[in-house]
Amino acid sequence: MNQEETPVERKTKFDAAFNSILNNEKFDQPNWIAGLKYGASKDYLVSSPIDISIQFGRFQRSEADLPRSVMPKVLKAHESWSSTSVAERREVLGQVRETLQRQRYRLAAAVSISAGMTEPESMFEMERLLDVVDSLQEEMESPLPAGKGPWAVLASYNSPLAGPMSYALAALMAGNAVFLVPPHECPAPCFMAFNAIAKGKLGEALSIATDPDGAMRRNIMDHPDIAGVAVCGSGELVDEAMFTHVDDELGFVAEIKGMNPALVAGNENMDEVAVMVLKSAFSYSGQRMDSCSKVVVLEDHAEEFVSSLLKTAEAFKVGDPADSTVDTGPLVSPERLDEFTSLVRELGDNVVHGGKVLRDGFLDEGQYVQPAIIMGLDEGHEFNSIDHSLPFLSVQVAKDMDEALGMIDGCEIGVSAGVFSSSQEVVERFLTEVRADVVYVNSSSNCIAPGTRAMIAEFLA
């Protein structure tokens, strides 16, 4: 971010870009394969989760056999791109960086409108992408081997821009052609970035196609000419990719959203802990890559923590993400809303706070829900081990540190884990024993950025 800009100036520029995106005429988006436009026999309408009347246009419902029919062109684009020198690729990346920097407010506004992120969340996505580009430029100061072959980069809505574009650029700068499948619920930010940067040889090396049905995505992962698969997100996408990764010759990079669990083991300010836990759990309506969906609290501190958590949750505000006073916006799609309400019904009395669909004036036209806090589940319940990428926070009580660490180890951790404690001994034990890519201490998980493995080294032969 430009350090010379004040917060007020940044907010003014973001608001102007937000209004510009809202008011601009929306265009139907074709797929782009190796520099050529590709349509499909069917398309689908992409609307904003903020308000269904806000439409981004129609995107392609790609045919299942698209990878087979276009792979010769992708391979030809890979041959051309991989023959470019590292110096030439680095120059291209510099141009990409300049373009993204100029367009950062418009891209962030597109993230906000298409995914329902607040202004700080969407700007964080944009700035993370710029940080990754800077890191890639540093990696390219050393000699690199030739590209391995075309990579598929697949993403879900957990990171609408930074995740997919970071992995695509890392694979490209390693000398590989890329077939990018952005999140079908909110593809507009990736397409906007693509339209801005895909020029010349880069425009041929980078292909982009939407796939709301999933069949095309499965076929590209299984295609024999794909050199590797990078997946960033959650749900069915991750399950399919994990099953695909059986060939030792297939490159595989995965950034998987899990429960991102947290431990509360005593703190001098439990109200502050409750605020940070709620931010970790319910920012971007629990859909971020780092969203915490499980917190384990030691029995000695449970009553105080739960009281603070429920009190703080009453003040947690859901609404239009353009409103700077709200804490979180809507769910990303009607399908996610339906899943949320179905799960709330199944959980019944274990929902101790929230779980309601919000219907009040403006909110009627979007997918707004009150995040749910759940307690009292059997230890083996799936909500204590499996993430749903929705605004649920399961609270478990452990009698001691041994049991607490076992509860954390027994769930799909994902990219992060957190600990809240005033005890240095507790913190050090947590840091030593918990197996997470990133561990945060006495803070929210919101500082954790997507694209943790978006490095050229991950995409080399």
Token pair in block for residue 122: 């969407």
| Same-domain pairing of 122 and 243 | yes
The DSSP-derived string for 374-389 is EE---TTSGGGT---S
| Same-domain pairing of 200 and 70 | yes
* pLDDT the model gives residue 5: 85
Q: Would you place residue 217 in the very low, low, confident or very high pLDDT band (cuts 50, 70, 90)? A: very high
* pLDDT the model gives residue 246: 55
| Same-domain pairing of 170 and 289 | no
Q: Is 300 a domain residue? A: yes
Q: Would you place residue 309 in the very low, low, confident or very high pLDDT band (cuts 50, 70, 90)? A: very high
Q: Is 351 a domain residue? A: yes
The C-alpha atoms of residue 38 and residue 340 are separated, in whole angstroms, by 35
The pLDDT of 293-301, averaged and rounded, is 97
Q: Is 456 a domain residue? A: no
1 pLDDT higher than 50: no
| Same-domain pairing of 169 and 132 | yes
Helices of type H across 318-423? 334-347, 401-409
Q: What is the pLDDT of residues 90-131, one digit of tens each?
A: 999 999 999 999 999 999 999 999 999 999 999 999 999 999
The C-alpha atoms of residue 361 and residue 52 are separated, in whole angstroms, by 14
Q: Is 4 a domain residue? A: no
The DSSP-derived string for 173-234 is HTT--EEEE--TTS-HHHHHHHHHH--HHHHHHEEE---SSSHHHHHHHH-TT--EEEEEE-
- The strands making up 36-38's β-sheet, listed across from edge to edge, are 36-38, 31-33, 206-208, 178-181, 151-155, 228-233, 251-256
CATH number at residue 293: 3.40.309.10
The pLDDT of 7-32, averaged and rounded, is 90
* pLDDT the model gives residue 170: 98
The C-alpha atoms of residue 11 and residue 16 are separated, in whole angstroms, by 9
DSSP secondary-structure letter at 397?
E
Give phi and psi for 446, each to the nearest 5. -65, -10
Q: How far is CA 412 from CA 146, 270, 350, 379, in A?
A: 36, 26, 21, 14
Give phi and psi for 375, each to the nearest 5. -145, 160
Q: Is 461 a domain residue? A: no
Q: Bridge-partner residues for 179, per DSSP? A: 152, 207
* pLDDT the model gives residue 229: 95
CA neighbours within 13 Å on the CB side: how many for 20? 13
Token pair in block for residue 42: 């069917």
87 pLDDT higher than 70: yes
* Average of per-residue pLDDT values in the chain: 94
| Same-domain pairing of 170 and 284 | no
Domain interval for residue 352: 262-447
Q: Is 455 a domain residue? A: no
337 and 356 Cβ atoms separated by less than 8 Å: no
- Bridge-based pairing of strands 55-60 and 372-375 is unpaired
Q: What is the pLDDT of residues 315-341, one digit of tens each?
A: 999 999 999 999 999 999 999 999 999
Block residue for tokens 């609408």: 160
Of 237, 256, 275, the domain-final residue: 256
Percentage of the residues of the chain whose pLDDT score is greater than 70: 98
423 and 265 Cβ atoms separated by less than 8 Å: yes
The C-alpha atoms of residue 290 and residue 446 are separated, in whole angstroms, by 7
The pLDDT of 271-295, averaged and rounded, is 97
Q: Would you place residue 248 in the very low, low, confident or very high pLDDT band (cuts 50, 70, 90)? A: low
3 pLDDT higher than 80: no
4 pLDDT higher than 80: no
Q: Would you place residue 407 in the very low, low, confident or very high pLDDT band (cuts 50, 70, 90)? A: very high
Token pair in block for residue 248: 């030792």
Of 240, 256, 272, the domain-final residue: 256
Give how many domains the chain has, as a whole number: 2
Angle at 261 between CA 259 and CA 266, to 5 degrees: 160
| Same-domain pairing of 175 and 144 | yes
Least confident of 57-66, 182-191, 234-243, 424-433: 234-243
| Same-domain pairing of 232 and 311 | no
pLDDT, greater one: 236 or 46? 46
318 and 368 Cβ atoms separated by less than 8 Å: yes
| Same-domain pairing of 222 and 325 | no
Q: Quick one: which of 131, 148, 120, 98 has its CA closest to 461? A: 148
User: How are the residues of the chain apportioned to helix, strand and coil, as percentages rounded to the nearest 5?
Assistant: 45, 15, 35
Q: What is the pLDDT of residues 115-126, one digit of tens each?
A: 999 999 999 999
| Structure-derived torsion over alpha carbons of residues 151, 155, 159, 161, reported in degrees to the nearest 10 | 50
The pLDDT of 428-442, averaged and rounded, is 95
DSSP secondary-structure letter at 49?
S
CATH number at residue 113: 3.40.605.10
Angle at 237 between CA 233 and CA 243, to 5 degrees: 120
Q: How far is CA 190 from CA 163, 197, 226, 285, in A?
A: 10, 11, 21, 21
Q: Is 412 a domain residue? A: yes
| Same-domain pairing of 245 and 100 | yes
Q: What is the 3-state secondary structure of 143-185?
A: CCCCECCCEEEEECCCCCCHHHHHHHHHHHHCCCCEEEECCCC
DSSP secondary-structure letter at 373?
E
Report the first-to-last Cα separation within the chain, whole angstroms: 34
Q: What is the pLDDT of residues 134-165, one digit of tens each?
A: 999 999 988 888 888 999 999 999 999 999 99
Q: Quick one: which of 152, 160, 135, 169 has its CA closest to 62? A: 152
* pLDDT the model gives residue 223: 94
- Residue 200 falls in which region: left (phi positive, over 0), alpha (psi -120 to 50) or beta: left
Give phi and psi for 455, each to the nearest 5. -130, 145
Q: Is 206 a domain residue? A: yes
Q: Bridge-partner residues for 309, per DSSP? A: none
The C-alpha atoms of residue 320 and residue 308 are separated, in whole angstroms, by 26
| Same-domain pairing of 170 and 300 | no
| Same-domain pairing of 300 and 438 | yes
| Same-domain pairing of 114 and 63 | yes
The pLDDT of 414-426, averaged and rounded, is 95
Q: How far is CA 56 from CA 51, 114, 129, 134, 458, in A?
A: 12, 8, 22, 30, 33
367 pLDDT higher than 60: yes
The C-alpha atoms of residue 237 and residue 114 are separated, in whole angstroms, by 20
The C-alpha atoms of residue 289 and residue 293 are separated, in whole angstroms, by 11
Of 194, 226, 256, the domain-final residue: 256
DSSP secondary-structure letter at 446?
G
